[in-house]
């Protein structure tokens, strides 16, 4: 089945925005819903910086999922851009899904999101994630408290990491999409340019490998993408750091750290692209990249006004 749907087949298509506090499990859930690695996942909060759009097919429905950055109280320019991107992703969606870390419960960030939904007049579904870590009575009590907010239509309980309950969630959302033709080919999984997805994979490895605040002070851009005659691809990426003393930390002694990061990223890229990848990483210092509108555009973010 393609974009050209038969008149005899009633198809559905719609946008679903995944919102939540940082580290609630949105990116893990997105990957489960689509059945492929689209969004990067790390144990660190605020990993997702821009909206990530992925596509899944469920029966006759095409679901276009928008994974947004975690919503929290921003204090810096990059954080404000991330939160603006999150609310922007939810604004025009057909359905909004709030993912709540069941272990943390109704945190101040969750309360802030609920207040935002009420202010905008939008209703949402709520998902209790990480249910495998809590007792049923605790989960039911939390579900009841959320239901009393009178802004949620349905409550779903899942484990995004294990995939429990994800199929039921996807099926329920598919039924609720508006009637209409599919907007994208059946085999398309994401809307982000491949260059951007490749940069995100490398950034994920940096988050996993680097300690403390360093990952938040860097960004990755795909500088060149060369298709080779043998079917392989040559990718050159630049890792921008905000301070001179961060560069040797990314490189590591004798270049060992960046070699390890490159090997990890290349393995994921080859799995995603299903071909050989020649990945070359370079580290450059750009002290004011956090104030550079061009860097924000490369990340898919709007440069926030002061």
pLDDT for the residue 200:
83
Strand residue runs (E) in the chain = 12-20, 52-58, 61-67, 95-101, 124-129, 152-157, 218-227, 233-241, 277-285
* Residues of the chain under the 70 pLDDT cut: 1-9, 39-52, 69-90, 191-193, 211-216, 290, 295-306
pLDDT for the residue 122:
86
* 24-60 residue pLDDT tens: 888 889 889 988 777 655 554 444 545 567 889 999 9
Predicted TM-score (pTM) of this structure: 0.65
pLDDT for the residue 189:
80
Tell me what the pLDDT averaged over the chain comes to: 82
The gap from C-alpha 162 to its chain's centroid, in whole angstroms, comes to: 18
Residue 219 CB contacts under 8 Å (≥ 6 apart), including other chains? 203, 239, 240, 289, 295, 298, 299
* 178-228 residue pLDDT tens: 999 998 888 888 766 677 778 888 988 888 887 655 656 788 888 888 989
Rounded CA-CA distance 23/71 in Å is 10
Backbone angles phi, psi at 287, to 5 degrees: -60, -30
Q: Calculate helix-pair angle for 26-34, 166-176, nearest 10 degrees.
A: 80
pLDDT for the residue 87:
56
pLDDT for the residue 193:
67
Rounded CA-CA distance 13/173 in Å is 10
Rounded CA-CA distance 216/224 in Å is 23
Q: Are 284 and 241 in contact (CB under 8 A)?
A: yes
């Amino acid at each position: 089945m393609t974009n050209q749907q038969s008149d005899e087949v009633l198809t559905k298509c719609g946008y679903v925005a995944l919102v939540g506090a940082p580290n609630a499990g949105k990116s893990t859930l997105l990957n489960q819903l689509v059945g492929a690695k689209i969004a990067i996942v790390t144990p660190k909060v605020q990993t997702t910086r821009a909206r990530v759009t992925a596509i899944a097919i469920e029966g006759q429905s095409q679901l276009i999922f928008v994974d947004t950055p975690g919503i929290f109280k921003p204090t810096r320019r990059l954080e404000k851009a991330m939160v603006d991107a999150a609310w922007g992703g939810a604004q025009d969606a057909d359905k909004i899904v709030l993912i709540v870390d069941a272990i943390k419960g109704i945190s101040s960030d969750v309360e802030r999101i609920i207040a935002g939904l009420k202010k905008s007049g939008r209703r949402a579904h709520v998902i209790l994630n990480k249910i495998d870590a809590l007792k049923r009575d605790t989960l039911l009590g939390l579900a009841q408290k959320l239901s009393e907010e009178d802004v949620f239509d349905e409550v779903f309980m899942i484990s995004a990491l294990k995939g429990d309950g994800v199929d039921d969630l996807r099926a329920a959302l598919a039924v609720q999409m508006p009637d209409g033709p599919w907007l994208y080919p059946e085999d398309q999984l994401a809307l982000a340019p491949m260059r951007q997805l490749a940069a995100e994979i490398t950034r994920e490895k940096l988050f996993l490998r680097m300690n403390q605040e360093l990952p938040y002070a860097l960004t990755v851009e795909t500088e060149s993408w060369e298709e080779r005659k043998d079917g392989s691809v040559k990718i050159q990426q630049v890792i921008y750091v905000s301070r001179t003393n961060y560069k040797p930390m990314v490189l590591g002694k004798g270049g060992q750290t960046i070699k390890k990061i490159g090997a990890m990223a290349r393995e994921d890229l080859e799995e995603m692209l299903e071909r050989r990848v020649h990945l070359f990483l370079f580290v450059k210092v750009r002290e004011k990249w956090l104030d550079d509108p061009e860097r924000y555009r490369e990340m898919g973010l709007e440069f926030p006004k002061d």
